[in-house]
Amino acid sequence: GGGTFTYTATISSGNVTGLTTSGTGSINDVLVNTSNTTNAIVTYFITPSKDGCNGTPFTFTVTVRPKPGITATAPAPICNGT
């Protein structure tokens, strides 16, 4: 069989929702940055294992960009030549 993974996750900067602080197997987090202006960073600390032996832990860093802001403005008047 294949190996497995355990992980922990922390918010390194910014504000994020949808984070699972620890788990086993696939990481299925849906991260949402709650800021409109600054990036958020989440760091996962992942440890692989197989047959009861742990492999070398590693980190995986995710940058979650802010959601785009859209501002609607009234259309400019159009001159029809009169």
The pLDDT tens digits of the residues spanning 15-56 come to 999 999 999 999 999 999 999 899 999 999 999 999 989 999
Task: Work out the pLDDT band at 73, boundaries 50, 70, 90.
Answer: confident
d(Cα 19, Cα 27) in Å, to the nearest integer? Answer: 10
66: left (phi over 0), alpha (psi -120 to 50) or beta: beta
d(Cα 19, Cα 53) in Å, to the nearest integer? Answer: 27
pTM score, whole prediction: 0.79
Task: Work out the pLDDT band at 74, boundaries 50, 70, 90.
Answer: confident
Surface-to-core class of residue 40, CB atoms within 10 Å of its CB (0-12 exposed, 13-18 middle, 19+ buried): buried
50 three-state secondary structure: strand
d(Cα 26, Cα 20) in Å, to the nearest integer? Answer: 11
